[in-house]
């Protein structure tokens, strides 16, 4: 099954916007056990579009075209698709009516140029877009099946997952059920996790489980793609592999699937009716900014403080210099002065000198409750920006571990001595 | 001058990484008055690479190939380039020596597989890479001049700007000097700015100035690309256009060229030896996070506070509810209690109900010094995420206006009554 993607639009071709639709589509296809073989980017230009469609139509089995379905004159996908297939454009009455009711529900009259969005090539199968006026469509051009999708990311995403990928899988004759299981970790590098997980795929003797990674510093995503005849088959294959991944990565798994680290922390705090105060220095508000705005945080997030120097924290005298005593004193004072059940203090000392790849930072993390105080010292050599990103993640992960009763001082790959 | 870009690598093709190199190259070419006509993405695969090179070699005048210059077996650019041009790979002695000294300076021995990076097609012109072991090269394949560049973004960026674009401009016979002038604004939509600036290009009667935009909510970048025979010519053409853009956009220009809004605010505070305290609610630390970590902020940024409720701010009693009195009281208390010369308070009340596209937020902004207090109320209907992003930008821009002696209450396009 050879799949190609054609991204259209002057905004993408000129770099005005970064083409995140391409990476999104490619990933989603990979997650479904499919692979993209070729990508093309062209502008809103008749000659280029026609040439791109023709080249793909002789090379590929399936082609996803993104963009060019809008109501304006530079949206050309339907016109060029019809031209490439040698068929006429015809009015798709059902979609026209759906668009009209879309506008009516919003107390507006449909502008006449939207009619263009209901003009589809005569041989096209309409693909529903439940959240926009650009319907998709599928049709044959040459030897390939073409799938036309809208450029608006949230419309594309829904159509790709609900309609396009199932159709491609059906054509590929792939097993009916595919499932993607994801684990999010912090503190272990990709090659380290790859080593730790050596052989887990083989726990499904049918070869239905594929292991993959996606690193976005400072987090790593470990992905298991499972193919099976139905969801029962998928779960049967997945269960032993998931158990083994959990056993091997252990405390480093901080979230699964659509969970986020900050969401896990917030839920754990909410579960014990806890409240949180955060004190930051060089992270400058970025730890608070991960949690404070989340739905549900209004009852949990008590207070955040950002100071570059800690001479004035809540009027409490602090020991001089940065070390265990200071970290404990800050966490204790923050908790007591703001009336929170939990305090997280993250104090950072950068090395002297200009920013550089190996500039170091010493990170002190203190977590206090009425009855417990955990302190961790960590050192990262990675330049200002990565020290800050790493410290935010390390601090949130230490708080997760604290709340889950796990050790907060477990060594991570990114730290030095 | 028809230019194509070929991006290579399995990581890009499978969506493991978003292809920011493509948008970067396309933008830089646009800024130099050049345009990309076609983009291709292929994996680390001999057949696809050869096909991509051949197709581009008959269509284009210049082709930039990105990636595939590394030392490992899946880096295939030199091999396939030589194959496509029908020439041999030969050792480039000078680059080999440069690599060896690169390793020697780092107290390491060059691994044998790095020799591969000095094997270039016989007809290639080597292009220096001052910051990595992958040299670039230029050569003819078919009717096109190909430029091979490294996939590491910072190496690509330097090589593109210093070496590749000048070579393409020389081939295009374009004027020797090109300059890009940028203005950053907040509060006016792209179509509004486009209207306001109608006709400014014509102020250079030679047609050497081109106007463009790049919107990245909530900011808008207005770009003037100027082409001239030399830099004097460029500045002569640019001066009247820049003066007119400044006159028309006026107070809305918050930064120019490589400046950032937060950098302008920090510099203005530092210039009057001021210190800053920030109080936030729903923005959750994101305002502090824009300033507190910047070099130089350690003497300016005094304190940041994040609370979802303001019952406990510095122990000062606040008026009930959210309004002008509360905003003033918070800004005043924050300034006095932390000893800063300036306080910025940003208090937000979200409408009731679930998040939705038209969920509203009321934003109160207070800025206090010892002798002055400015308050602004604003209302944005845009959903949780955009309200937060808009409030961060509006607050920083109000502080900029305050520091620059401009009105903080000027109406913006994004707000509703």
For A103-144, the pLDDT digits (tens) are 888 778 888 888 999 999 999 999 999 988 999 999 999 999
Architecture of domain A177-256: 2-Layer Sandwich (3.30)
The predicted complex's ipTM stands at 0.77
Q: How far apart are CA A97 and CA A110, in angstroms?
A: 10
Neighbouring CB atoms inside 10 A of A361's CB total: 21
Closest residue to A305, CB basis, from B20, B37, B304: B304
Q: Sort out which chain A residues have CB atoms less than 8 A from B24's CB and list them.
A: 15
- Around B84, how many Cα atoms within 13 Å sit in the side-chain half-sphere? 28
Reply yes or no: is the peptide bond before residue A381 cis, omega within 30 of 0: no
Q: What pLDDT is stored for residue B319 in this prediction? A: 72
Q: Where is pLDDT greater, at A231 or A37?
A: A37
Q: Where is pLDDT greater, at B190 or B143?
A: B143
Q: How far apart are CA A21 and CA A25, in angstroms?
A: 6
- 296-335 in A: which are within 8 Å (CB) of B? 297-298, 301-309, 312
Q: What pLDDT is stored for residue B110 in this prediction? A: 86
The whole-number average pLDDT for the span B343-363 is 91
Top mean-pLDDT range of B87-91, B323-327, B382-386: B87-91
Looking at chain A, the whole-number percentage of residues with pLDDT higher than 90 is: 72
| CA–CA distances in Å: residue B333 to residues A251, A301, A364, B315 | 44, 21, 30, 9
Look at the domain A261-403 and name its fold: Maf protein (3.90.950)
Q: Sort out which chain B residues have CB atoms less than 8 A from A293's CB and list them.
A: 282-284, 286, 384, 388
Name the 3-class secondary structure at B74: coil
The whole-number average pLDDT for the span A174-183 is 81
Q: Identify the CATH assignment for B265-403 out of 3.30.365.10, 3.40.50.300, 1.20.200.10, 3.90.950.20.
A: 3.90.950.20
The pTM assigned to this predicted structure is 0.80
What DSSP string runs through A274-320?
Answer: --EEEEESTTTTHHHHHHTTSTTGGGTEEEEEE-SS-SSGGG----S
Looking at chain A, the whole-number percentage of residues with pLDDT higher than 70 is: 97
Q: Sort out which chain B residues have CB atoms less than 8 A from A214's CB and list them.
A: 16
A410 vs chain B: nearest CA distance in angstroms? 27
Does the CB of B286 have a partner CB in chain A at under 8 Å?
Answer: yes
pLDDT at A348 over 80: yes
- 339-368 in B: which are within 8 Å (CB) of A? 339, 355
Which helix (H) or strand (E) segment holds residue A49: the answer is: helix A46-59
B261-271 and B384-403 helices, crossing angle to 10°: 30
- 209-228 in B: which are within 8 Å (CB) of A? 214
Does the CB of B278 have a partner CB in chain A at under 8 Å?
Answer: yes
Does the CB of B35 have a partner CB in chain A at under 8 Å?
Answer: yes
Lowest mean pLDDT, pick from A153-162, A203-212, A398-407, B337-346: A203-212
Does the CB of B14 have a partner CB in chain A at under 8 Å?
Answer: yes
Q: What pLDDT is stored for residue B316 in this prediction? A: 67
pLDDT at B118 over 80: yes
pLDDT at B106 over 80: no
Q: What pLDDT is stored for residue B212 in this prediction? A: 86
Q: Sort out which chain B residues have CB atoms less than 8 A from A7's CB and list them.
A: 39
Structural domain boundaries in chain B: 3-172, 177-256, 265-403
pLDDT at A157 over 90: yes
pLDDT digits (tens, 9 = 90+) for B365-374: 999 999 999 9
pLDDT at A4 over 70: yes
Does the CB of A37 have a partner CB in chain B at under 8 Å?
Answer: yes
Name the 3-class secondary structure at B254: strand
Does the CB of B114 have a partner CB in chain A at under 8 Å?
Answer: no
> Phi-psi bin for B101: left (phi > 0), alpha (psi -120 to 50), beta?
alpha
Q: What pLDDT is stored for residue B297 in this prediction? A: 93
| Cα-to-chain-centroid distance, residue A89 | 38
Lowest mean pLDDT, pick from A34-38, A124-128, B70-74: B70-74
Q: Sort out which chain A residues have CB atoms less than 8 A from B286's CB and list them.
A: 285, 289, 293
pLDDT at A416 over 80: no
pLDDT at A313 over 70: no
Q: Select from B191, B261, B282 the least CA-distant residue to B219.
A: B261
Phi, psi of A82 (to 5 degrees): -60, -45
- Beta carbons within 8 Å of B290's beta carbon, 6+ residues apart: B261, B262, B392, B396
Q: Select from A148, A65, A194, A18 the least CA-distant residue to B17.
A: A18
The whole-number average pLDDT for the span A309-333 is 80
Cβ A293–B282 below 8 Å, yes or no?
yes
* Residues belonging to chain B: 417
Q: Which residue of A has its CA nearest to B338?
A: A312
What DSSP string runs through A201-265?
Answer: GGGSTTS-EEEEEEEETTEEEEEEEEEESSHHHHHHHHHHHHHHHHHHHGGGEEEETT--HHHHH
As a whole number, the mean pLDDT across chain B is: 92
Q: How confident is the model at residue A231 (pLDDT cuts 50, 70, 90)?
A: confident
Which helix (H) or strand (E) segment holds residue A77: the answer is: helix A77-85
A71 vs chain B: nearest CA distance in angstroms? 18
Q: What pLDDT is stored for residue A197 in this prediction? A: 95
Q: Select from B182, B252, B193, B185 the least CA-distant residue to B220.
A: B185
Residue ranges with strand state E in B284-368: 301-306, 342-350, 360-368
Q: How far apart are CA A108 and CA A130, in angstroms?
A: 18
Look at the domain B3-172 and name its fold: Molybdenum Cofactor Biosythetic Enzyme; Chain A (3.40.980)
Contacts of A92-99 with C-beta under 8 Å, sequence gap 24+, read: A92/A118, A92/A119, A92/A120, A92/A126, A92/A135, A93/A118, A94/A126, A95/A120, A95/A126, A95/A135, A98/A135, A99/A133
Q: Sort out which chain A residues have CB atoms less than 8 A from B295's CB and list them.
A: 355
Q: How far apart are CA B185 and CA B194, in angstroms?
A: 13
As a whole number, the mean pLDDT across chain A is: 92
Location of structure tokens 């990105």 = B66
Q: Sort out which chain A residues have CB atoms less than 8 A from B275's CB and list them.
A: none
Q: How confident is the model at residue A314 (pLDDT cuts 50, 70, 90)?
A: low
How, if at all, do strands B89-91 and B62-66 pair?
unpaired
Q: Which residue of A has its CA nearest to B38?
A: A42
Location of structure tokens 């950098």 = B263
Q: What pLDDT is stored for residue B26 in this prediction? A: 96
- Beta carbons within 8 Å of A235's beta carbon, 6+ residues apart: A179
The whole-number average pLDDT for the span B349-353 is 90
Does the CB of A20 have a partner CB in chain B at under 8 Å?
Answer: yes
pLDDT digits (tens, 9 = 90+) for A183-217: 999 999 888 899 999 999 999 988 889 898 887 88
Q: How confident is the model at residue A95 (pLDDT cuts 50, 70, 90)?
A: very high
The whole-number average pLDDT for the span B64-72 is 93
pLDDT digits (tens, 9 = 90+) for A48-73: 999 999 999 999 999 999 999 998 88
Q: How far apart are CA A260 and CA A216, in angstroms?
A: 13
Looking at chain B, the whole-number percentage of residues with pLDDT higher than 70 is: 97
The whole-number average pLDDT for the span B216-231 is 88
Q: How far apart are CA A180 and CA A161, in angstroms?
A: 13
Q: What pLDDT is stored for residue A174 in this prediction? A: 67
């Amino acid at each position: 099954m050879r799949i190609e993607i054609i991204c259209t639009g002057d905004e993408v071709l000129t770099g005005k916007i970064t083409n995140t639709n391409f990476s999104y589509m490619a990933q989603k296809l990979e997650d479904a056990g499919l692979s993209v073989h070729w990508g093309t980017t062209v502008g809103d230009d008749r000659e280029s579009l026609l040439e791109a469609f023709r080249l793909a139509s002789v090379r590929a089995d399936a082609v996803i075209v993104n963009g060019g379905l809008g109501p304006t004159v530079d949206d050309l996908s339907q016109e060029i698709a019809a031209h490439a297939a040698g068929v006429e454009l015809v009015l798709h009455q059902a979609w026209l009516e759906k668009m009209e009711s879309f506008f009516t529900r919003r107390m507006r009259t449909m502008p006449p140029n939207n009619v263009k969005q209901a003009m589809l090539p005569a041989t096209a199968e309409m693909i529903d877009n439940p959240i926009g006026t650009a319907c998709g469509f599928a049709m044959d051009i040459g030897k390939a099946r073409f799938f036309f999708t809208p450029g608006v990311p949230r419309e594309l995403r829904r159509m790709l997952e609900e309609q396009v990928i199932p159709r491609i899988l059906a054509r590929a004759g792939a097993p009916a059920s595919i499932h993607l299981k994801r684990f999010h970790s912090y503190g272990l590098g990709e090659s380290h996790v790859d080593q730790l997980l050596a052989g887990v795929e083989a726990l499904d003797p049918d070869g239905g489980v594929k292991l993959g990674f996606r690193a976005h510093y400072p987090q790593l995503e470990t992905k298991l793609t499972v193919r099976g005849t139905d969801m029962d088959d998928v779960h049967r294959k997945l269960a032993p592999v998931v158990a083994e991944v959990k056993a091997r990565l252990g405390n480093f798994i901080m979230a699964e699937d659509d969970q986020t680290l900050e969401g896990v922390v917030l839920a754990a705090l909410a579960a014990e009716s806890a409240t949180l105060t955060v004190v930051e220095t060089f992270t400058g508000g970025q730890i608070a900014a991960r949690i404070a705005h989340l739905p549900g945080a209004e009852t949990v997030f008590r207070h955040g403080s950002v100071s570059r120097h800690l001479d004035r924290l809540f009027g409490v005298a602090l020991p001089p210099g940065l070390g265990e005593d200071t970290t404990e004193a800050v966490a204790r004072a923050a908790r007591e002065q703001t009336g929170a059940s939990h305090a997280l203090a993250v104090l950072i000392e950068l090395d002297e000198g200009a920013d550089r790849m190996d500039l170091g930072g010493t990170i002190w993390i203190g977590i206090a409750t009425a009855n417990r105080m955990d302190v961790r010292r960590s050192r990262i050599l990675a330049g200002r920006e990565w020290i800050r990103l790493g410290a935010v993640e390390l601090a949130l992960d230490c708080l997760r571990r604290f709340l889950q009763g796990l050790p907060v001082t477990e060594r991570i790959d990114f730290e030095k001595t």
